[in-house]
Amino acid sequence: MSKQKLQYACHRMALPLYPVVSQPFFLAYKAKQKLPQIIVKPNTRYYPSIKCADKNNGSHENIALPIYQPTIWTHNFIEALDVNFPINSREKVKELDKKAMQLNFDYENGGLSILQLLEQIDDIERLGLDYRFQNNIRRALNIITSVNENNIGHEEKERSLHAASLRFRLLRKHGYNVSQDFLLRFKDSQGGFMRCLETDVKGLLSLYEASYLSFEWERDLHEAKLFATKHLLKLKCQENEAREDINHALELPSYRRMLRLQARWYIDAYSKRKDANMLLLELATLDYNMVQSELKKELQEVSKWWKNIGLASKLSFARDRLVECFFWSVGVIFEPQYNFCRVELTKVYTLITVIDDIYDVYGSLDELVMFTDAVKRWDINAVKHMPEYLQLSFRTLYNTIIEIGSKTSIAQGEDIIPVLVRVWGELLEAFLLEAKWTHNKYIPTLQDYMDNAWRSVAGVVILTHGYFLINQEIKKDVVENLEKYDDLLKWSSVIYRLCNDLATSTDEIARGKTANAISCYMHENSVCEEVAREYIKFLIDKAWGEMIKARVAYFQESTDPFIDMAINLARISHCVYQYGDEHGAPDARAKERVLSVIVDPIPIKDN
């Protein structure tokens, strides 16, 4: 093992995941090598002599400023989108849905085998149809939990690893408290996994997917992940029909994927299967296109709002990312009944993006202090003597929050505006602290950074707005009920932050920002960027474990859509930042994803 790998292995074994109250974050190991010099690579987003604020004296003069690429999605393009979904297709969806409701979800009365039932549920969920079958799926899972898992799959011995792993994954995904002990029957007398499993492609894929729903202390599942990954890597190099499935799984496990992108991919993959249920396939295809047509209408609605407020044209230093923000909203919650939530969340996302750029690249420290104070006091008169760009930003934020708060408060009978103002104030305080660190050229410890950074990533703001927007039918204790989801708010935000930092650290270092998980860990532990990146990925895995633990703890509230919304925020974070900063610097891959989810329908094959 190389020295760097040995150092990283020591980290993985010894260091706890923050936040830990009883001891400092990093205790076990300090690398001896010096911090390597950070070399800034050329980036086409950076140009000299652009007007911006001098952070030292508050004036706006010619100094280097990052210039973000312009949006590729014009208002005219959005307005020209074909939003029509043919009436005959809509009627066909109703017809297919009615037939699909007759699908057999029964096990006890001579219906499907447990394995068939598990696979049917898995197909429905991956096809993006689970929102239509929620009650059926819940009843079926309740039945499955009552069946002795040792009996599952024995009628088809070669598929038993697949059946047992699939059972575990689906139950834990839905919050059931299931044990990892199912793995014991697949181990030999020496405690390792049986050699006969090494070529069981279907079993390995199911085991691999199940291992990503483990808790931190479940050693057998961690060993299963290593075992499955090792042998899937070998198998994908061989000629076999499962190569595409293997590559897709190894790229990112299904539990961490954005739901709409996963559905689009799976519809295509499912159509190639000989055992595909043609009723489900046709329904999934038409349903995808129908939902997409509604998304186009919502995008057109929010595009008019974005054009009318004029932030993009008046604040040229900030990112114009309306469509990307809408893509985030779709990733957080896609179901058609939450159209109002998506529109309003997109407004929140765009304001977060613009205000983040004010704190990151444009505003002077004095201006940022005044702006933060004005938002915390929610005093529109406090911005009268501020620069015009801050007045415009405050007015837009003020009007948007009042509009959202008023609509939801009327529906719920409880004033939620103070809650929205509070989370915005906390977000701007977190922005301000990072601006001060940059101003003072201070690099905090990773623990100190993360104590602030899981808030500065704005996950709490997004999810708080989302909670009220999707729970408008709740008439009692709506504010108090939000508090019970603190763990979901925190851990989804941690994953969001760490995924963001993996993608944006190079650009942030280039523009002088000192606080980033990568740079903080490099500085504190005197390690190179590669080691720091591996450690941050390790922390992402641990945060997912905490998220899954919270999901199981909230089993009694399992039908609350907010739980899935919080998990979806972590999923869309992986999607947007997996190959770079597709929010700040969207590339061809980002464009293709937007097209496939929002713009281009799935072609319908003629019978």
Angstrom distance (rounded) from CA 132 to CA 210: 24
Cα distances from 243 to residues 33, 246, 261, 267, 537, in angstroms, run: 41, 5, 19, 17, 25
Q: What is the DSSP letter of 360?
A: I
User: Do residues 288 and 243 lie in contact, with contact meaning Cβ atoms separated by under 8 Å?
Assistant: no
Residues 319 and 277 in one domain: no
Within a domain: 20? no
Confidence of residue 151 (pLDDT cuts 50, 70, 90): low
Matching residue, tokens 């996994």: 193
- Given a cut of 60, whether residue 64 has pLDDT beyond it is no
What is the three-class DSSP state of 36?
A: coil
Residues 235 and 343 in one domain: no
Residues 66 and 180 in one domain: no
Q: What is the DSSP letter of 200?
A: -
Confidence of residue 592 (pLDDT cuts 50, 70, 90): very high
Residue 410 has what pLDDT?
Answer: 65
User: At 59, which CATH number?
Assistant: 1.10.600.10
User: Do residues 285 and 602 lie in contact, with contact meaning Cβ atoms separated by under 8 Å?
Assistant: yes
Within a domain: 477? yes
The 3-class SS string of 451-498 reads: HHHHHHCCHHHHHHHHHHHHCCCCCCCHHHHHHCCHHHHHHHHHHHHH
Within a domain: 567? yes
Residues 113 and 240 in one domain: yes
Residue 9 has what pLDDT?
Answer: 40
Q: What is the pLDDT of residues 222-243, one digit of tens each?
A: 999 999 999 999 999 886 788 9
Residue 147 has what pLDDT?
Answer: 78
Of 6-15, 26-35, 87-96, 151-160, give the lowest mean pLDDT range. 26-35
- Given a cut of 80, whether residue 138 has pLDDT beyond it is yes
Angstrom distance (rounded) from CA 275 to CA 415: 53
Confidence of residue 108 (pLDDT cuts 50, 70, 90): low
Within a domain: 492? yes
Residue 528 has what pLDDT?
Answer: 92
* b/e per residue 155-188 (b: at least 16 CB within 10 A): eeeebbbbbbbbbbbbbbbbbbebebebbeebee
Mean pLDDT of the chain: 86
What would the mean pLDDT of 290-315 be, rounded to a whole number?
A: 97
Residues 429 and 514 in one domain: yes
What is the three-class DSSP state of 191?
A: coil
Domain boundary among 235, 269, 284: 284
Total domains, the chain: 2
Positive or negative torsion for Cα 430, 435, 440, 446:
positive
Cα distances from 587 to residues 72, 121, 452, 471, 578, in angstroms, run: 10, 35, 29, 35, 12
Within a domain: 293? no
Confidence of residue 60 (pLDDT cuts 50, 70, 90): low
Question: Across the strands, what pairs with 603?
Answer: none
Of 113-127, 147-161, 229-243, give the lowest mean pLDDT range. 147-161
The 3-class SS string of 268-317 reads: HHHHCCCCCCHHHHHHHHHHHHHHHHHHHHHHHHHHHHHHHHCHHHHCCC
User: At 177, which CATH number?
Assistant: 1.50.10.130
Residues 173 and 227 in one domain: yes
Between vectors from CA 27 to CA 24 and to CA 31, what angle results, nearest 5°?
A: 135
Angstrom distance (rounded) from CA 284 to CA 127: 6
What would the mean pLDDT of 10-23 be, rounded to a whole number?
A: 35
Instruction: Give the range of the structural domain holding residue 257, as residue numbers without chain letter.
Output: 105-284
Residues 334 and 411 in one domain: yes
User: Do residues 71 and 47 lie in contact, with contact meaning Cβ atoms separated by under 8 Å?
Assistant: no
Angstrom distance (rounded) from CA 372 to CA 400: 17
Domain boundary among 284, 319, 342: 284
Question: Cis omega before residue 48 (within 30°)?
Answer: no
Within a domain: 551? yes
What is the three-class DSSP state of 49?
A: strand
Closest among 334, 397, 323 to 583, alpha carbons compared? 323
Q: What is the pLDDT of residues 447-495, one digit of tens each?
A: 999 999 999 999 999 999 999 999 876 656 777 788 889 999 999 999 9
Letter for the amino acid at 519?
A: S
Angstrom distance (rounded) from CA 164 to CA 150: 8
Residues 268 and 415 in one domain: no
Angstrom distance (rounded) from CA 10 to CA 32: 14
Residues 467 and 580 in one domain: yes
Residues 152 and 248 in one domain: yes
Within a domain: 301? no
Domain boundary among 221, 249, 284: 284
What's the whole-model pTM score? 0.89
Residues 204 and 321 in one domain: no
Confidence of residue 54 (pLDDT cuts 50, 70, 90): very low
For the chain, the residue count is 607
Residues 370 and 224 in one domain: no
199 backbone φψ class: left, alpha, beta (φ>0; ψ -120 to 50): alpha
Within a domain: 22? no
